[in-house]
Amino acid sequence: MEWGMKNRLSQLIQKDGRAMFLPIDHGYFQGPTSNLEEPGKTIEPIWPYADAIMLTRGVLRAAIDPAITKPIILRVSGGATMARRDELDNEGITTSVTEAIRLNASAVSMSVYVGSEREHQTLMSLGNLVNECEDYGIPTMAVTSVGTELGKRDARYLALASRIAAEIGARVVKTYYCEEGFEKLVRGCPVPIVIAGGPKVDSEFEVFKWIYDALEKGAIGVNLGRNIWQHEHPVAMAKAVRAVIHENATPKEAQDVFDAVKSGKAD
């Protein structure tokens, strides 16, 4: 592995082998998502607790302070919206690698839709992206998307999608956590796995628990957005999630961190 690739990966994956990515790219297909209408303001109090921020070039250029010191994971795929929910898999590359370099991105990310009508299209796009990024030492993170077909979030499907993405050359894979068979999924994927946050949930303890379980079963971290910035207490959530990932906090200990920050008993 070339020095540049190693350097960029070391910015994303910390010395403890763990990673906490903060995605705010939801608007690329959802539009002005709740609590993300003004993304710069949304992440201002919470970005210090993340290891990297994932977003599109439009939001990066328009809403993020150039003095920010966090690594950027640039979302480079798109072309589908919630206005056509049945065609969310109809994505292509929207942002060039040249633009990623110009924006000083530490990595790029794109979605793949294994098993969908446009499986071939998205997998070929991933291959082409990897080919170009490798020339410049930029890691590619593949996102195993399921669109609106939430029933696909089982170990067999996610293991297939994750392994295919790794085989094509993704340096990191973002996928969903599943209680049954997640260890097998991780074992079958030769590159690091971060877990997607999924839909917003009502209980913060539930979030801490599945993050903890996923780490115990081999994931290196999370790519978690809505369960942080859509929460009533986003800073408390960010600190508690970081405690699970980088301080090996149990769900109970993470809940204690959350409660202390929420109540003002801790900074």
Amino acid at 223: N
Beta strands 140-144 and 107-112 are parallel
- pLDDT, one tens digit per residue, over 161-174 is 999 999 999 999 99
Predicted pLDDT of residue 242? 98
Whether 261 is covered by a domain: the verdict is: no
Helix, strand, or coil (residue 181): coil
How does pLDDT run across 63-122, given as a tens digit for each residue?
999 999 999 999 999 999 999 988 999 999 999 999 999 999 999 999 999 999 999 999
- Is residue 245 in a domain? no
**Residue pointed to by tokens 């030769």:** 190
What pairs with residue 74 in β-bridges?
55, 108
The Cα 267–Cα 262 span in angstroms is 9
Nearest one of 128, 129, 159 to 144, comparing CA atoms: 159
Work out the pLDDT band at 266, boundaries 50, 70, 90: confident
Phi and psi of 74, rounded to 5°?
-90, 120
**pTM confidence score:** 0.95
* 91 is a domain residue: yes
Task: Name the nearest CA neighbour of 44 among 24, 29, 61.
Answer: 24
Checking 101-104 for CB contacts under 8 A at 24+ apart, the result is 101/136, 101/138, 103/57, 103/60, 103/61, 103/72, 103/74, 104/72
Distance CA 80, CA 118 (A): 12
Q: Taking a C-beta distance cutoff of 8 angstroms, is the pair 164, 119 a contact?
A: no
**pLDDT over 80 (residue 145):** yes
Query: How many C-beta atoms surround the C-beta of residue 21 within 10 A?
Result: 27
- Phi and psi for 17 in degrees, rounded to 5? 80, 10
Q: Is residue 178 part of a domain?
A: yes
Q: Is 246 within a domain?
A: no
Does residue 29 sit within a domain?
yes
Point out which residues pair with 55 in neighbouring strands: 74
C-alpha–C-alpha distance, residues 174 and 195, integer Å: 6
> How many structural domains does the chain have?
1
Residue 199 has pLDDT above 80, yes or no: no
Residue 72 tokens read as 């950027």
Q: Does residue 115 form part of some domain?
A: yes
Structural domain includes residue 247: no
CA 9 from chain centre, in angstroms, equals: 14
19: phi then psi, degrees, rounded to nearest 5:
-150, 140
Q: What is the CATH number of the domain that holds 72?
A: 3.20.20.70
Q: Which entry of 174, 217, 239, 262 is annotated as an active-site residue?
A: 174
Task: Name the maximum alpha-carbon separation found in the chain.
Answer: 52
Specify whether 174 is catalytic.
yes
Q: Which domain holds residue 57?
A: 3-198
Q: How confident is the model at residue 198 (pLDDT cuts 50, 70, 90)?
A: low
